[in-house]
Structures are given as C-alpha cells and as structure tokens.
C-alpha cells in the first residue's frame, strides 16, 4: 500500500489579499499573503473560510493557480451565479481585505517536477486552474518533460491566462484550445464538445505512458477520462478532479 | 479566533442544525473521485467479506439482491463541503452480510473495483449504520455515483462510503486507505470536522 509522510495539522491562517487581476468578466485571480504558509505542490487546493459579523461562517475549496512561492497563495476564482462565496471573493473582497485559509489539501492530483513521464493536461473551463499551476511549475523548475495542454472552453473570451499561455507554448509545450460554444472564425474545428477525435489527435498516444490530469465539471471529466481509457491509457495514470457548481 | 470578513453576510439556507460545521447544502449530487469511473457489470460483480484469518464470504449480484433490503433515508456529508439531506437509498445492511462472519478484528479495509481503498473501524459498519447500496432515489445507482453498488456509511464523511465496493477485509490493526494516506483524517466524523490529519 502506498504511504506518504504524515503532514502536520492544517491550521487556519489569516490571508491578506494583496493583488487582484481579472481573467474574464466573471473570474478573478487573487494573490494572498499568508504568513507561515508551508508551501504546496502544483495541483493542490486550499480551504477558504469566511465569517460574517454575527459569527456565521462557511467554507469552500479552491485550487491554487501558481506553484509555491514563499508566503504567496494565488487563486483564480470563477464566479458562480447566485453563489454564496465566489461572488464575494470575485467582486467584493478589497485589496487589504482578509479571509482565513488552510492547506495545502490533496496529495493525489499533484504533479512533481522530478517525474520523467510526459504530461497530458486536459482542462474544462475553470478546471484550468490547478493545471496552470503544473504548467507554471514545469517552467519554474526548468523541466524539459514534454507537456500537452488541451483546454476546453466556451469561447475565446472565457479563456484564463490567455496571454501567458500564448507565450508558454514553446520548448516542449503544446497547447490546443477546444471551443464548445463559440470558436474564432479561423478555427476549422468549429464549436463543439471535446470528443474522441480531439483526444485521439491531440493527446499523447497511450504508448508514451503519459501522466494524465483531467480537471473540470463532472460531465466533462467523465467523458474525457472514459475516452482516454478507450484510447488505451492505463486508468492508474489518469488522475481526475471533478467539480460541480461550488458557490 | 475566527476573523470577521467585513461585508460578507452569507446565504443561510436553513436546516442549520442538520449541517455539520463548515458544510453547505447542495441541491445537486456532486462527484468526488480520484480517477476514471470503472465499468463493473452486474454479471461479473462479486462482493467478498474476508476475516482476519482469511476466511471468505462471497455474494454475487443475484445473491445480494435476494437478501432482505432496507431503504435508509439519510443525510450525507462530503469532505469537499457539500451536504445533501434526506437522500433515499436501497441496499443490504452490513449486519445482514456479517451475520455468519466470525471475527475478533477491530478494523476494516474497504476495497473497490478500480483500486480505491478506505479504512474504518468495524464497529462503524455494524448496528444499522452501514449498507451495500444499489439504488439511489428509486433508480439503479449510476456508475459515476458508485454503481452498481457502493458502501453507504452516512455518519462519516462520504469518502468512507466507497464507490464500486468489491470487498471488505477485516484487520486486527488499523491501516490507512487511499485518502487516509494522502492527508485526510483516519476516522472522518463530520460533526467533529475531522477532515484532515490532526483535525
């Protein structure tokens, strides 16, 4: 049985918002300063706790968007219409504002830069966030492992990190977009959901034994993971993270 | 010691006395799974209980269906924060399956088709607290929710309710399962908010 080191207790820490950047009209990247942050691996997430003045509190989990960098924790949060927490974080929380945060959480959906296998990242919508952390970690580590990112998104306007990803697609990194609702006019594929032909053409062949990471809404992840297995990928090499609406 | 976040009011949705700390009400049924959904056909399905000296009790799908069924309606709590109230299941109580199992073990390791594991004390599987469930909300259990059959242990966080359950192995000493080896709590009582190791 696989065993890993027992991490210490995950304590709640005060996180101060130091920087915000809009990714799309409904998604925002938040950089927090978290004194005592122990660091994290790309793919891990944090729990965020908000407490109202009358003591009511609630928690949500959000993926970390960037590799470990001292006491900074960077989250990209998609606003869920009528949600409880995400509209506050994407619209209301000001720079200098504080929330509580604990983590890092999750030791399975992680990529380690010492792994020699080629990497396949398949993102659906805001599922790009933990995969972007892996892509960025590869660059930060100077890793040469071949990496392909397949990014399914509704329209060009809804892409996260668009400028950065344009620059990242060099030196062993391939990035392909799959538009589901509205494609640019010069995209011969048009707009449709990702399918067998897309993965057969753009994913690594199963013979290459890539480490596969699939993140997105439940239906997307089910489809992509099932298709990868149909294409011959070993289920043990396909790691998934599914999310439903999480307001 | 919680800090107050100015301008945050929250959306209280009632039923607060039925929500463990840190949980919120979900209307849908989110899915948390570490990998692909395994395909398990009922004609190939088997469920085995193995005691600490290796004696095996095995049921095939037809034999499971022939056992007396119960229809628990329970609240479920996922460690990813969602809770769902009054979920309706149909399945066989583990008391029924353990009736002829001779054991002095205190712990159980649950194994799933696809390789997932989770550990829990044997006493948490007995006395009307756990089922092998094969229907949800009056329909056969969908594969993405653990069909054809999953463990249902609603008083613990839902990762203990292993999907695609294949066997339960009794153990004299406790061993960590999949998530328990990856930083999650060994026991996972939602009312004590035992999400992660050390909680």
pLDDT in tens, A120-140: 999 999 999 999 999 999 999
- Smallest Cβ–Cβ distance between B31 and the set A218, A226, A239 belongs to A218
| pLDDT score at A6 | 45
What are B158-187's pLDDT values in tens digits? 999 999 999 999 999 999 999 999 999 999
Residues A156, A51 share a domain:
no
Q: Please state whether the peptide bond connecting residue A104 to the residue before it is cis, i.e. omega within 30 degrees of 0.
A: yes
What pLDDT does A132 receive? 97
Q: Is residue B1 part of a domain?
A: no
Q: Is B76 domain-assigned?
A: yes
- Asked if A164 and A204 sit in the same domain, the reply is yes
Tell whether A110 is covered by a domain: no
Which domain does B184 fall in, by range?
61-192
Residue after which a domain boundary falls, among A75, A105, A135: A105
How many domains does the structure of chain A reveal?
Answer: 2
Cβ contacts of A124 within 8 Å, gap of 6 or more: A152, A153, A194, A215, A216, A217, A220, A221, A224
What integer pLDDT is reported at residue A7 of this predicted model?
53
Top residue of B19, B24, B35 to mutate, by most chain A CBs within 10 Å, is B35
CATH number reported for the structural domain that contains residue B135 in this entry: 3.90.420.10
Mean pLDDT of B92-115: 97
Look at residue B138 and tell me if it is in a domain.
yes
Residue A111 falls within a domain, yes or no?
no
- Does A42 share its domain with A75? yes
Of B11, B81, B179, the CB nearest to A60: B81
Task: Give yes or no: residues A99 and A134 share one domain.
Answer: no
Residue B41 in any domain: the answer is: no
Say what percent of chain B tops pLDDT 90: 84
Quote the domain boundaries for residue A84: 13-105
Residue A226 is assigned to a structural domain of this protein: yes
pLDDT for the residue A9: 84
Query: Of the candidates A105, A128, A158, which is a domain's last residue?
Result: A105
Task: Tell me the backbone φ, ψ of residue B136, rounded to 5 degrees.
Answer: -130, 125
| A 36-75 residues inside an 8 A Cβ radius of B | 47, 49-53, 55-61
Question: Are A29 and A79 contacting, i.e. CB atoms less than 8 angstroms apart?
Answer: no
Distances (CA, A) of A127 to A215, B103, B115: 5, 46, 25
pLDDT value of residue B17: 86
Q: List CB contacts of B160: < 8 A, sequence separation 6 or more.
A: B110, B118, B120, B124, B151, B153, B188
Residue B19 within any structural domain of the chain: no
What is the predicted pLDDT for the residue at A204? 96
The CA-based dihedral angle spanning residues A188, A190, A193, A197, taken in that order and rounded to the nearest 10 degrees:
-20
Q: Are residues A58 and A137 in the same domain?
A: no
Residue A82: CATH number of its domain: 2.40.30.10
Q: Is the pLDDT of residue A76 over 80?
A: yes
Residue B156 lies in a domain: yes
Q: Are residues A32 and A123 in the same domain?
A: no
Residue B8 lies in a domain: no
More confident residue, A8 or A135: A135
Q: Looking at the structure, do residues A80 and A189 belong to the same domain, yes or no?
A: no
**What CATH number did the domain enclosing A182 receive?**
3.40.50.80
B196–A105 C-beta distance less than 8 A:
yes
Is the pLDDT at B2 greater than 70? The verdict is yes
A112 in any annotated domain: no
| B22 in any annotated domain | no
Q: Tell me: do A32 and A135 sit in the same domain.
A: no
Please give, rounded to a whole number of angstroms, the shortest distance from the CA of A175 to a CA of chain B: 23
Q: Among residues A73, A105, A137, which one ends one of the domains? A: A105
Q: What is the pTM of this model?
A: 0.92
How many domains does chain B contain in total? 1
């Amino acid at each position: 049985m696989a065993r890993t080191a027992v991490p210490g207790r995950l304590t709640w820490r005060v996180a101060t918002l130091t920087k915000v950047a809009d990714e799309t009209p409904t998604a925002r990247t938040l950089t927090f300063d978290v004194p005592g942050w122990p660091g994290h691996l790309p793919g891990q997430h944090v729990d965020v706790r908000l407490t109202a003045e009358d003591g009511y509190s609630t928690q949500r989990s959000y993926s970390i968007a960037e590799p470990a960098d001292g006491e900074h924790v960077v989250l990209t949060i998609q606003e869920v219409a009528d949600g409880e927490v995400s509209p506050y974080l994407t619209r209301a929380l000001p720079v200098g504002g504080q929330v509580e945060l604990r983590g890092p959480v999750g030791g399975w959906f992680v990529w380690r830069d010492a792994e020699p296998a080629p990497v396949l990242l398949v993102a659906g919508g805001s599922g790009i966030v933990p995969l972007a952390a892996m892509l960025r970690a590869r660059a930060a580590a100077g890793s040469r492992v071949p990496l392909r990112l397949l990014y399914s998104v509704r329209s060009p306007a809804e892409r996260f990190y668009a400028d950065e990803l344009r620059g990242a697609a060099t030196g062993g990194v391939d990035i392909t977009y799959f538009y589901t609702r509205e494609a640019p006019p010069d995209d011969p594929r048009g707009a449709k959901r990702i399918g067998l032909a897309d993965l057969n053409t753009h994913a690594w062949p199963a013979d290459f034994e890539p480490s596969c990471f699939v993140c997105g809404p439940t239906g997307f992840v089910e489809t992509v993971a099932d298709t990868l297995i149909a294409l011959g990928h070993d289920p043990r090499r396909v790691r998934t993270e599914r999310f439903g609406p999480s307001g | 010691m919680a800090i107050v976040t100015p301008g945050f009011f929250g959306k209280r949705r009632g039923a607060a006395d039925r929500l463990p700390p840190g949980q919120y009400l979900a209307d849908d049924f989110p899915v948390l799974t570490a990998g692909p959904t395994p395909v398990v056909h009922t004609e190939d399905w088997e469920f085995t209980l193995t005691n600490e000296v290796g004696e095996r009790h095995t049921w095939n799908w037809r034999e499971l269906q022939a056992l007396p069924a119960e229809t628990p309606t329970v609240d479920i709590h996922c460690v990813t924060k969602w809770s769902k109230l009054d979920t309706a299941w149909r399945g066989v109580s583990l008391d029924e399956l353990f009736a002829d199992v001779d054991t002095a073990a205190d712990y159980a390791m649950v194994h799933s088709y696809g390789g997932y594991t989770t550990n829990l004390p044997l006493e948490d599987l007995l006395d009307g607290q756990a089922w092998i469930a094969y229907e949800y909300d009056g329909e056969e259990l969908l594969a993405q929710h653990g069909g054809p059959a999953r463990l249902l242990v609603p008083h613990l966080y839902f990762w203990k309710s292993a999907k695609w359950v294949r066997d339960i192995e009794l153990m004299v000493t406790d061993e960590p399962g999949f998530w328990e080896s990856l930083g999650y709590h060994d026991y996972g009582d939602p009312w004590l908010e035992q999400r992660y190791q050390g909680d």
